[in-house]
C-alpha cells in the first residue's frame, strides 16, 4: 500500500487532499472543544454582571456574536494549517519539476554533464531518471562529435603534411623532380581522396541516409560476385581461395549491394593483411534463423587486446604499418558493422593472436 502511494503521483495528491480534509475536521473539533466553553463562560459572566432584564434582551445577540467568533477562529486556524500543508505538499511536487527545468536550461547552454537528483519512485522520479538518461546520451553524442572532429582533422593532416613537405622539397631543390617523387605525392593525394570518400560513405551509412532493398538472396551468388571482383588481387598476392558452402543453402533476406559491400570489405581486409602465398576461406552456414558468413585468413592476425576495438572508427592495430603499406584509414569495418546491424545482423572478429590468422563473421536473417 505504502509502495503504491510512493510510486504514483496521483495517489499522493489524493492522499494530500484527504490529509487536508482530515486536518480541517480535526481543527473544527478542537475549536469547538476549546472555543465553545470559553464562549459559554463569557456568555454566563455577561449574564451575571448585567441586569437580568438586560441580559435576557442581549442573549440572542450575544450568542450569535459568539458563534460568529467561533466561525472566524475556525476559519483562521483552518486556513493556516491548510496553507502550511499545501505549501509543503506542492513543494514536494514542484521542487523536482523546477530542478528539471533548471537542468534543461543548463543543458541547452551546452553543459551536458548536468543531472537531476532522483528521489522516490513516482512518475516524477521516473521522469527525472529518463531525463538523466537523455542527458547521458547527449553527453555521449557530444563527446563523440568532438572526438570525430579531432580524428578527422588528424587523419587529414597526415597526407596533407606529406604532400606539402614533398612540394616544398621540390621547390627548394632538395627533392629530385623524378617520377618517384611525383608518384609519392600522387599516392598521398589518392589517400586523401579515399579518406574523404570513406568519410562520406560512413556518414551516409551511420545516418541511415540510404534505402535497404531487402529481398531473398542467394548467398553463393553473392560470394561469387565478390570473389570474381577480387580475382586480380588474389592473383597478384598469390593467395588461394577456398569456398565452404552447403548445397541446399537457405536464402537470406538482405540488400544485395550492401551485402556485397560488407563481404568485399572483409575479403579485401583478408587480402590486405595476409602475406603472399596465404589462404583465404569463405564459408557460410545456417544457425537457427540466421546465416553466418565467415572470412578466414592465414594472415597477420589480431592481438586479443585489439579485437574489441577494430570496428571503431579510424582504429588500426598498427597505425604506421597500414599507413606506409598503402593501408586504409580504419573506416572499412565501421561501415561494415553499420550495414550488418541495419539488416538486424551481428558482426565480430576472432583471432588467436599475431601471425595466427583472423576470422571475421557476420550474420543475416534467413528469408521466410
Ligand atoms: N583480416 C585481418 N587481419 C588482420 N588485421 C585486420 C584484418 N582486418 C582488419 N584488421 C585490422 O583492423 C583494422 C581496421 O580495419 P578496417 O577495415 O576498418 O580499416 P583499414 O583496413 O585499416 O582501412 P579501410 O578503411 O581502408 O578499410 C585494420 O587496420 C587492421 O589493423
Ligand atoms: Mg579495411
pLDDT tens-digit series, residues 99-145: 889 999 999 998 999 898 888 888 888 999 999 999 999 998 898 88
- For the segment 205-216, what is each residue's pLDDT rounded down to a tens digit? 988 899 999 999
For 77, 109, 240, the CA distances from 97, given in Å and listed in that order, are 30, 19, 66
Reported confidence tier of residue 342, pLDDT bands at 50, 70, 90: very high
For residue 15, the model assigns a pLDDT of 83
Q: Where are the alpha helices (DSSP H) in 293-363?
A: 304-307, 319-324, 332-342
Highest mean pLDDT among 63-77, 117-131, 135-149, 346-360 belongs to 346-360
- For the segment 16-33, what is each residue's pLDDT rounded down to a tens digit? 788 888 887 887 788 778
For residue 53, the model assigns a pLDDT of 45
Strands of 27-176, DSSP E = none
Does the beta carbon of 270 sit less than 6 angstroms from any atom of ligand 1?
yes
Residue with CA nearest ligand 1 atom 15:
330
Reported confidence tier of residue 43, pLDDT bands at 50, 70, 90: low
For residue 138, the model assigns a pLDDT of 93
Q: Which residues of 137-172 are buried (b: 16+ CB within 10 A; e: fewer)?
A: eebeeeeeeeeeeebbeebeebbeebbeebeebbee
Does the beta carbon of 131 sit less than 6 angstroms from any atom of ligand 1?
no
pLDDT exceeds 50 at position 287: yes
Ligand 1 pocket test, pick from 269, 294, 316, 328 with the greatest ligand atom count within 8 Å of Cβ, gives: 269
Within a 13 Å sphere around the CA of 164, how many CA atoms are in the beta-carbon half? Answer: 6
What does pLDDT average to over the chain? 87
For 217, 271, 306, the CA distances from 351, given in Å and listed in that order, are 29, 16, 10
Ligand 1 pocket test, pick from 328, 339, 358 with the greatest ligand atom count within 8 Å of Cβ, gives: 328
Residue with CA nearest ligand 1 atom 26:
328
Arithmetic mean of pLDDT, 331-357 = 96
Residue with CA nearest ligand 1 atom 1:
270
Arithmetic mean of pLDDT, 284-295 = 94
For residue 302, the model assigns a pLDDT of 97
Ligand 1 pocket test, pick from 230, 268, 273 with the greatest ligand atom count within 8 Å of Cβ, gives: 273
Does the beta carbon of 361 sit less than 6 angstroms from any atom of ligand 1?
no
> Can you tell me the distance from the alpha carbon of 249 to that of 200, in angstroms, rounded to the nearest whole number?
35
pLDDT exceeds 70 at position 149: yes
- For the segment 216-252, what is each residue's pLDDT rounded down to a tens digit? 999 999 999 999 999 999 999 999 999 998 777 899 9
Q: 3-state class of 313 per DSSP?
A: coil
For residue 28, the model assigns a pLDDT of 79
- For the segment 161-195, what is each residue's pLDDT rounded down to a tens digit? 999 999 999 999 999 999 999 999 999 999 899 99
User: Which residues on adjacent β-strands are paired with residue 296?
Assistant: 281, 359
- Quick one: how far is CA 14 from the chain centroid? 37
Ion ligand 2 neighbours (CB, 5 A) are 269, 328, 332
- Closest ligand 1 atom to 300 CA: 4
pLDDT exceeds 90 at position 51: no
Arithmetic mean of pLDDT, 155-165 = 91
pLDDT exceeds 70 at position 255: yes
pLDDT exceeds 60 at position 197: yes
Q: Which residue bears the cell 487536508?
A: 20
pLDDT exceeds 60 at position 75: yes
Cell matching residue 25 = 475536521
Does the beta carbon of 356 sit less than 6 angstroms from any atom of ligand 1?
no
Contacts of 156 (CB under 8 A, 6+ apart): 192, 195
Starting at the edge strand found earlier in the chain, the sheet holding 358-365 runs 240-245, 279-287, 290-297, 358-365, 347-351
Amino acid at each position: 500500500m505504502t509502495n503504491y502511494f510512493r510510486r504514483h503521483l496521483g495517489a499522493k495528491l489524493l492522499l494530500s487532499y484527504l490529509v487536508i480534509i482530515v486536518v480541517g475536521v480535526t481543527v473544527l473539533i478542537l475549536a469547538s472543544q476549546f472555543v465553545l466553553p470559553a464562549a459559554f463562560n463569557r456568555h454566563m459572566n455577561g449574564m451575571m454582571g448585567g441586569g437580568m432584564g438586560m441580559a435576557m434582551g442581549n442573549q440572542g445577540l450575544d450568542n450569535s456574536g459568539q458563534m460568529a467568533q467561533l466561525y472566524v477562529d475556525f476559519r483562521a486556524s483552518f486556513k493556516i494549517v491548510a496553507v502550511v500543508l499545501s505549501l509543503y505538499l506542492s513543494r514536494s511536487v514542484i521542487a523536482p519539476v523546477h530542478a528539471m527545468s533548471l537542468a534543461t536550461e543548463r543543458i541547452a547552454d551546452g553543459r551536458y554533464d548536468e543531472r537531476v537528483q532522483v528521489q522516490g519512485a513516482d512518475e516524477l522520479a521516473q521522469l527525472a531518471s529518463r531525463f538523466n538518461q537523455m542527458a547521458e546520451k547527449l553527453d555521449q553524442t557530444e563527446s563523440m562529435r568532438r572526438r570525430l572532429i579531432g580524428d578527422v582533422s588528424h587523419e587529414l593532416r597526415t597526407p596533407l603534411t606529406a604532400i606539402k613537405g614533398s612540394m616544398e622539397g621540390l621547390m627548394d631543390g632538395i627533392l629530385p623532380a623524378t617520377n618517384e617523387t611525383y608518384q609519392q605525392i600522387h599516392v598521398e593525394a589518392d589517400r586523401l581522396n579515399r579518406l574523404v570518400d570513406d568519410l562520406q560513405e560512413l556518414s551516409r551509412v551511420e545516418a541511415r541516409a540510404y534505402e535497404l532493398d531487402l529481398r531473398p538472396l542467394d548467398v553463393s551468388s553473392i560470394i561469387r560476385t565478390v570473389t570474381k571482383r577480387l580475382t586480380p588481387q588474389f592473383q597478384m598476392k598469390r593467395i588461394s581461395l577456398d569456398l565452404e558452402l552447403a548445397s541446399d543453402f537457405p536464402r537470406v533476406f538482405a540488400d544485395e549491394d550492401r551485402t556485397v559491400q560488407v563481404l568485399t570489405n572483409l575479403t579485401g581486409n583478408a587480402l590486405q593483411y595476409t602475406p603472399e602465398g596465404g589462404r583465404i576461406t569463405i564459408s557460410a552456414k545456417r544457425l537457427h534463423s540466421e546465416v553466418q558468413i565467415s572470412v578466414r585468413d592465414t594472415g597477420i592476425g589480431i592481438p586479443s587486446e585489439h579485437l574489441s576495438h577494430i570496428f571503431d572508427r579510424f582504429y588500426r592495430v598498427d597505425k604506421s604499418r597500414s599507413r606506409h603499406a598503402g593501408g586504409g584509414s580504419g573506416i572499412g569495418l565501421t561501415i561494415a558493422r553499420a550495414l550488418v546491424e541495419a539488416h538486424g545482423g551481428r558482426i565480430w572478429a576472432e583471432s588467436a593472436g599475431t601471425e595466427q590468422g583472423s576470422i571475421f563473421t557476420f550474420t543475416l536473417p534467413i528469408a521466410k
